[in-house]
């Protein structure tokens, strides 16, 4: 049931400009799926949906697989403009950012799908990244350094 519901979500966001969870839930109900807001929220998170601007200036849900090049460029720009330093120890990478920018930098790292990154945790001006293996950290830090230049 979950997979058919999530496939329907991907179909709906591909066909319509859906900007709220409530609108998505209503469209799913009209399609025969009995959902709650919590279910829709969980599906959005699992599908890695996020909002992108439309031509009309509004926002709509978009799947990560359907990111246009301008969105990727925006994440690279956020990464470059907010990160001050990168250090590592074991399989942990600590990234220092400008004040108030750690969440944006973490989202850019998550959205750019760097290989070997299991996840990020952000505070105000520092984020911690967990790599899948300590042996992959040097290459990951090198990728960050290259992107920062």
The class (CATH top level) of 2-66 is mainly alpha
Domain boundaries of the chain, sorted by first residue: 2-66, 69-148
Query: Three-state secondary structure along 19-77?
Result: CCHHHHHHHHHHCCCCCCHHHHHHHHHHCCCEEEECCCCCEEEECHHHCCHHHHHHHHH
State the DSSP code for 126: E
pLDDT of residue 72: 66
Number of neighbours of residue 32 by Cβ within 10 angstroms: 9
Q: Return the CATH number of 69-148, one of 3.40.50.720, 3.40.50.150, 3.40.309.10, 3.30.1360.40.
A: 3.30.1360.40
Q: What is the pLDDT of residue 63?
A: 83
**What's the number of CA atoms in the CB half-sphere (13 Å) around residue 133?**
5
Place of tokens 């790292």: 109
pLDDT in tens, 59-77: 889 886 555 555 567 777 8
Ranges in the chain, pLDDT < 70: 64-72
3-class secondary-structure state, position 130: strand
């Amino acid at each position: 049931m979950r997979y058919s519901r999530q496939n329907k979500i991907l179909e709906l966001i591909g066909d319509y400009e859906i900007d709220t969870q409530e609108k998505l839930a209503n469209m799913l109900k009209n399609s025969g799926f009995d959902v709650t807001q919590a279910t829709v929220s969980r599906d959005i998170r699992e599908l890695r949906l996020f909002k992108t601007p439309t031509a009309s200036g509004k926002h709509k849900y978009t799947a990560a697989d359907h990111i246009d090049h301008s969105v990727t460029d925006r994440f690279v720009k956020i990464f470059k403009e907010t990160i001050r330093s990168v250090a590592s120890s074991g399989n942990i990478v600590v990234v220092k950012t400008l004040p108030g920018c750690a969440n944006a930098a973490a989202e850019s790292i998550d959205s750019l799908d760097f290989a070997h990154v299991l996840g990020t945790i952000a505070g105000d001006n520092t984020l911690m990244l967990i790599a899948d293996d300590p042996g992959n950290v040097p290459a990951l830090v090198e990728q960050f350094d290259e992107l920062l230049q």
